């Protein structure tokens, strides 16, 4: 399976299992997560770039992949993605570089996932 589909399938399978546990707090966190990234005073597109930048400085590969997937769906350009990557690596430091590598690889995967 290609890396994008593998990521999305595992994510969906585990989300289903987590929500099946019926823990009210977790359900509400998942619900908030969906609502928070919708169009508002800040456009959804910009919010996904925030999500990407925050995921990078907090150094979470799965979160980087998820937001890259959303950025791809929303049509962000390579130049925009690279500027987000650059800012995140400047703010978060060289400790973020391994996530820049994985993020760059996954962005290519997304573009090749036809």
What is the Cα–Cα distance from 16 to 22, expressed in whole angstroms?
Answer: 11
What is the Cα–Cα distance from 46 to 91, expressed in whole angstroms?
Answer: 18
Verify binding: residue 46, its own copies, rule CB under 8 A: yes
3-state secondary structure of 75: coil
For the CB of residue 74, give the shortest distance to its own copies in the complex, in Å: 14
Q: State the CB neighbour count (10 A cutoff) for residue 110.
A: 17
Among 74, 104, 110, 113, interactor with its own copies by CB under 8 A:
104
For the CB of residue 35, give the shortest distance to its own copies in the complex, in Å: 7
Long-range pairs for 20-28: beta carbons < 8 A, 24 or more residues apart: none
Verify binding: residue 55, its own copies, rule CB under 8 A: yes
**Contact residues: its own copies, CB under 8 A:** 10-11, 14-15, 17-18, 21, 23-26, 28-29, 32-33, 35-37, 40-42, 46-47, 49-51, 53-55, 57-63, 77-80, 82-98, 100-101, 104-105, 108
């Amino acid at each position: 399976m290609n890396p994008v589909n593998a990521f999305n399938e595992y994510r969906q399978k585990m989300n289903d299992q987590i929500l099946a546990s019926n823990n009210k707090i977790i359900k509400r966190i998942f619900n908030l997560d969906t609502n928070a990234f919708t169009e508002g005073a800040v456009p959804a597109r910009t919010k996904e770039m925030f999500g990407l930048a925050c995921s990078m400085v907090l150094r979470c590969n799965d979160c980087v992949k998820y937001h890259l997937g959303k950025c791809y769906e929303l049509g962000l350009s390579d130049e925009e993605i690279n500027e987000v990557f650059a800012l995140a690596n400047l703010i978060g430091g060289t400790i973020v570089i391994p996530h820049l590598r994985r993020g760059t690889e996954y962005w290519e995967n997304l573009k090749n996932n036809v």
